[in-house]
Amino acid sequence: MIDETPGPDIDRVITAAQVAAEALATTTPAERARWLMATADALDKAAADLIPVAVRETRLPEHPRLHSELVRTVFQLRLFARVLEDGEFLDAAVDHADPDWPMGPRPDIRRAMVPMGPVLVFTASNFPFALSVAGHDTASALAAGCPVVVKAHPGHPELSARTGDVVAEALARAGAPAGTFGMIAGVQAGVTALRHPAIAAASFTGSAAGGRALFDIANARPRPIPFYGELGSVNPVLVTPGAVRKRGREIVEGFVGSFTLGAGQFCTKPGLLLLPAGHGLDETLRGAVESVSAQAMLNERIADGYLAGVDRLREHPCITVLSGPELGDDPFRPTLLKVAAADFTRAAAELGAECFGPTSLIIEYDGDAELRAVLDALEPGLTATVHAQDSETERVRALLPTLTRLAGRLLWNGWPTGITLSWAQQHGGPYPATTAPGFTSMGTAAIARFLRPVAWQGFPDALLPPALREDNPWALPRRIDGIRVTGEENER
């Protein structure tokens, strides 16, 4: 296991971040884009060194998993460089003085986003690259202009340390101030850091219990700070009778592939499959599950938690085991369970909670009333998926308000695992999906978590930040007197 960073070292790392924050606040987006590109290049070069360490520490397969995860990680850094070049993240608005403003004369007032300050990033175990030291939270916080203090995950300590070295060196060479990036390790160190007065925001991806505990600590500070926790999700998938008839076998294949991918250790794993009663797919499901072999779990803690969770489900009186390891089998062979909708609805608190690992629960519903009752019994989550035929559009339309209330991302005839990163991605949702439903932890909009707005009233042009100067030196898209103007139009 990883050593705990001693108290004085935590303070030194965070104080360095605090000093760096002032320097970072005056850097240009173009400078920070270069840092991110340099970090991406350095990770590309270090791939051959890092991947074997990741294989050893996480037990994840090198091909295709870890290679494609590193591609994703490097892509993320470059995507945030694009966000910085685009400039809209600054949300710049200029309202000129207006003596005729209807509520009374308006002074000149201008508003733009500034970095929040040092960000504490709690890394995840299940994406040792993409949600870890150089991962999505780090990329988006650095893009925002915030120094980052990473709390390394104990599941991959050596990989964390080595990745940290690559990031720190790349940032330093690219000209980022000392203190822009730092790292600590250990559970208690993470808590100490979260309570440090110089930390301005924190992000977390992990379990509901761990995330809630940290959320409570962040809120109990004398000065509470924003805590962006992504706590997991059960990700229901609803299949209509029409879809079963037309594509039953194909849906089964997609479903089993999705819930067993990476040994089910994804926050977007489909944990519930709602099938119409009489679907006739039991044998197909059983065959598909039995063709998937056991995979290693990320670490002992997750393995133990999974076994306890899946045992609890198997032993529940309403649950039937469709397929799962027998006594003497590898206990991490996928487990597929089944329950009747009415039983599920009565016991949703127990049966509808996330079980992190290679298991999923089929809920058989008999008609729309039972289906609705199941949906109404669910907690909000990250995703909700519908498999339906185009001819069933109106039936699905009636369910959309409920699904929208339940999730941050809705999918049609797809599978929730495999999250694309783009401008329109949304990875979040009402609690317990996340602790901050107004934000996303993936995709370009994730930068907004680490920014806060500031207005300048009546300032001389020479003292305004460049984003708000009259001649718009960065050629930003801005809102001027209420009208959106593109960068080209308002450059002078």
Point out the residues that are catalytic.
Answer: 230, 267
User: Minimum distance between the CB of residue 429 and its own copies, rounded to whole angstroms?
Assistant: 8
Q: How many CA atoms lie within 13 A of 340 on its CB side?
A: 6
Under the criterion CB under 8 A, does residue 90 sit at the interface with its own copies? no
Nearer CB in complex with its own copies: 95/354? 95
User: Minimum distance between the CB of residue 391 and its own copies, rounded to whole angstroms?
Assistant: 11
CA distance 262 to 239: 23
Nearer CB in complex with its own copies: 327/462? 462
Q: How many CA atoms lie within 13 A of 146 on its CB side?
A: 31
CA distance to 212, 215, 364, 390, per residue, from 209 (Å): 5, 10, 29, 40
CA distance 40 to 167: 9
Give the residue among 124, 137, 148 at the shortest CA–CA distance from 200: 148
User: Minimum distance between the CB of residue 468 and its own copies, rounded to whole angstroms?
Assistant: 9
User: Minimum distance between the CB of residue 315 and its own copies, rounded to whole angstroms?
Assistant: 25
Give the binding-site size for its own copies (rule: CB under 8 A): 94
Contact assessment for residue 129 and residue 163, using Cβ atoms and an 8 Å cutoff: yes
Site for its own copies in 439-458 (CB under 8 A): 439-440, 443, 445, 448-449, 451-458
Question: Please, what's the b/e burial string for 180-212 (b: 16 or more CB within 10 A of its CB; e: otherwise)?
Answer: bbbbbbbeebbebbbebebbbbbbbbbbbebbb
Nearer CB in complex with its own copies: 70/185? 70
Nearer CB in complex with its own copies: 370/379? 379
Contact assessment for residue 157 and residue 2, using Cβ atoms and an 8 Å cutoff: yes
Nearer CB in complex with its own copies: 197/367? 197
Binding mask 460-489 for its own copies (x = CB under 8 A): x-xx-------------x-x-xx-x-x---
Q: Fill in the amino acid letter for 131.
A: L
Query: In this chain, which of 223, 315, 317, 328 binds its own copies, going by CB under 8 A?
Result: 223
Site for its own copies in 23-42 (CB under 8 A): 25-26
User: Strand runs (DSSP E) across 87-200, as ranges?
Assistant: 93-95, 109-115, 119-122, 148-152, 181-185
Query: In this chain, which of 367, 422, 471, 473 binds its own copies, going by CB under 8 A?
Result: 422
Site for its own copies in 291-350 (CB under 8 A): none
Give the residue among 145, 166, 150 at the shortest CA–CA distance from 53: 166
- Peptide bond before 64: cis, by omega within 30 degrees of 0? yes
Site for its own copies in 129-188 (CB under 8 A): none
User: Minimum distance between the CB of residue 156 and its own copies, rounded to whole angstroms?
Assistant: 21
Query: In this chain, which of 29, 155, 182, 408 binds its own copies, going by CB under 8 A?
Result: 408
Query: In this chain, which of 269, 333, 338, 409 binds its own copies, going by CB under 8 A?
Result: 409
Site for its own copies in 359-388 (CB under 8 A): 379-380
Q: Tokens in use for 126?
A: 């299940």
User: Minimum distance between the CB of residue 161 and its own copies, rounded to whole angstroms?
Assistant: 26
